[in-house]
A and B are shown apart, each in its own frame.
Chain A
Amino acid sequence: MTATAARSAPLVISARRKASNVVMLGLCVVATTAALAVLAWIFGYVLVQGGRFVSLSFFTRLPVPVGESGGGFLNALVGTGIMVGVASAISIPVGIFAGIYLSEFGTGWFAGMVRFVNDTLNATPSIVAGLFAYTLIVLQTRRFSAFAGSVALAVLMIPTITRTAEEMIRLVPRPLREAALALGIPEWRMTLQIVLPAAASGVITGVMLAVARVSGETAALLFTAFNNRFLSAALDEPMSSVPVQVYTYAIAPYDDWHHQAWAGALVLVTLVAVFSAAVRIATRNRHRSLG
């Protein structure tokens, strides 16, 4: 009798414990719902507002003076393309080779320090990258320039690329390396011709993440590339970019400009969503093929 009671006693859960279980787990569901609701709200609002004001001329025309209708973001779209391109040209080689260093030779305290510095640089406020490019280039050349903007963006891209490159190269199976070495290929050729191509899709994913991040970057460009109302491809002159133009238009007191800012925001969000989805699909295939 007593033995049965003792055995069944722990199974009795008081009403208070049951209630707190349900309430707290329910709150977790509520938190998730709230986060998703905010996401839907922001996405939905940008889609609706941007969709109302985006048009063909948004992509093909230059800005027009206040009061005239029409006009577009052509200069900003071209500017973002050029500056992200130059920033990629600077940061991709640096990031990939630093990634190779960390994954292939990255043992010991120095590699640990590089990893730590890289991770913390990855979280550097973008405005600081802008300040760096300003004192380094703008202050010396005495003019805002697209090149200075590209350098600021490159500073923001390098840590992301380095990190993903390291992780992805590390994933390449050891037997593949051993097979290559067994055939008499020197280590450097093994790394560049066997390991790097095997990790290519992952490394490209990292590059895409970095590109997506800096395409929407405003703070680093505000006082490096500045802004330019005209179409320009000169690296030594101020250059417009989509995020800076959105900012300029958003804080101006004109309705026309606000509409254009929403259209610009839609372009940025679409870009990010497409990149994120692509990265997601690429990494999912990768996990499947490895697993």
Chain B
Amino acid sequence: MAANLDAIRAQTQMLGQRTLRRWGPPALQGWTNLDALFRKACTVFGLAIVGLLVFIVAELVRGSAPSLLRFGSSFVVDKLWDPVTERFGAATFIYGTVVSSAIALLIAVPLGVGVAIFLVEMAPRQVSVTVGFLVELLAAIPSIVYGLWGLFVLAPIVRDHLAPALRATLGFIPLFSGPSFGVGMLTAGLILSIMILPFIAAVSRDVLAAVPQAQREGSLAVGATKWETIWQVVIPYGRAGIGGAIILALGRALGETMAATMVIGNTPQIAASLFQPGYTMASVIANEYSEASGPLYLSALTEVGLLLFVVTFAVNGCARVLIWRMARGAGRHE
């Protein structure tokens, strides 16, 4: 009985829809179908974004399969990179990438956060907008231009002025010992710091601007100075967001190719001194890929790229999560 009723109901519904489609107002005809189709089509493009990620990973894994099978996990700890005997290890590149990025962060984080504080807490609106634009312009300059400037302007300055000064004052530390050729780890760290500073400044500015005004007023009302308000109230409030900005910048520094390639010296070695040349993961790919002979050589370079992609993806993912959490937190308090 109940089943019968259901069948009748379903049939009536179908009839009703058919009638509506055939005899309803003109605008309604074919409406539902096309809308559903449009929605599906758009969803396919959304899916394509995720598909692109999967496709990139799949292609990189396919490309590096021979090297993955041959060297396994020793690839990341082996310091030898020898195309002649076909033995490849990426340790020197990983070291170069990590150290140059660390130098960049050490220099750029205080400066970038300082710029953000100036823009949000100190500058008049018009100044803030103009300086903000200029800082963003710094972020838009192609990395090849930084590389060119680094090679012809910064490297000679490091060789003739900065390195001798550091050697004279801090030379007892192995990091600052030995001769400088201009190109090297320190120069790469410097140029990377210039390149990531705008990211740190721009994202931190947005984060600090999202801190509710009431937080500052409360702090000032109990007698804190402006700096104490910034340092003890505003910055801790935006901690997660600034952390996100720094990690985002780290992602940029790790993956930066051209500028690092042009000033780091491109020598696969792990040297104690920052004046010595090094090599990064991105720059070994840029330098050797088009000239690599033999499938294993190519595959080893692709594996370096795969490692780089996985690391930057993880780093950027962390940054996104931190910034999103910050944005949601700020929204709740307002």
Does B41 belong to the interface (CB within 8 Å)? yes
The answer to whether B114 touches A185, judged by C-beta atoms less than 8 angstroms apart, is: no
Does B50 belong to the interface (CB within 8 Å)? yes
Which of A52-60, A61-69, A170-178, A219-227 touches B?
A219-227
CA distance A258 to B152 in the complex (A): 9
**Across the two chains, which residue of chain A brings its CB closest to B114?**
A31
Residue of A32, A128, A185 touching B309 (CB-CB under 8 A): A128
The answer to whether A128 touches B60, judged by C-beta atoms less than 8 angstroms apart, is: yes
CA distance A126 to B35 in the complex (A): 37
The answer to whether A250 touches B110, judged by C-beta atoms less than 8 angstroms apart, is: no
Instruction: Give the Cβ gap from A3 to chain B, nearest Cβ, in Å.
Output: 17
Please judge, given known A-B contacts A25-B122, A31-B118, A98-B46, whether A216 and B111 are in contact too, CB under 8 Å. no
* Contact partners of B25 in chain A: CB under 8 A: 184
Which of B1-9, B129-137, B211-219 touches A?
B129-137
The answer to whether B49 touches A118, judged by C-beta atoms less than 8 angstroms apart, is: yes
The answer to whether A101 touches B43, judged by C-beta atoms less than 8 angstroms apart, is: yes
The answer to whether B148 touches A262, judged by C-beta atoms less than 8 angstroms apart, is: yes
Interface size class for chain A?
35 or more
* Contact partners of B168 in chain A: CB under 8 A: none
Which of A81-89, A130-138, A197-205, A229-237 touches B?
A130-138
Residue of A39, A186, A219, A269 touching B134 (CB-CB under 8 A): A39
CA distance A129 to B286 in the complex (A): 12
Please judge, given known A-B contacts A28-B122, A31-B111, A114-B50, whether A10 and B308 are in contact too, CB under 8 Å. no
The answer to whether B227 touches A25, judged by C-beta atoms less than 8 angstroms apart, is: yes
CB 8 Å contact bits of B288-304 with A (1 = contact, 0 = none): 01100000000000100
* Contact partners of B223 in chain A: CB under 8 A: 10-11, 13
CA distance A32 to B131 in the complex (A): 8
* Contact partners of A45 in chain B: CB under 8 A: 149, 153
The answer to whether A213 touches B118, judged by C-beta atoms less than 8 angstroms apart, is: no
The answer to whether A35 touches B286, judged by C-beta atoms less than 8 angstroms apart, is: no
Chain A, 64-101, CB within 8 A of any chain B CB: 94, 97-98, 100-101
Interface set of A (CB-CB < 8 Å, partner B): 10-11, 13, 17-18, 20-21, 24-25, 27-32, 34-36, 38-39, 41-42, 45-46, 94, 97-98, 100-102, 104-106, 110-111, 113-114, 116-121, 123-132, 134-136, 139, 144, 155, 158-159, 162, 184-188, 191, 212-213, 215-219, 222-223, 226, 243, 246-247, 250-251, 258, 261-262, 265, 268-269, 272-273, 275-276, 280
Q: Which 8 A-B residue pairs are closest in the complex by CB-CB distance?
A: A216-B142, A125-B255, A31-B114, A188-B38, A97-B45, A184-B27, A219-B257, A101-B42
Beyond A113-B50, A116-B320, A120-B313, 5 additional contacts (C-beta under 8 Å) are: A114-B50, A119-B320, A187-B38, A272-B141, A272-B142
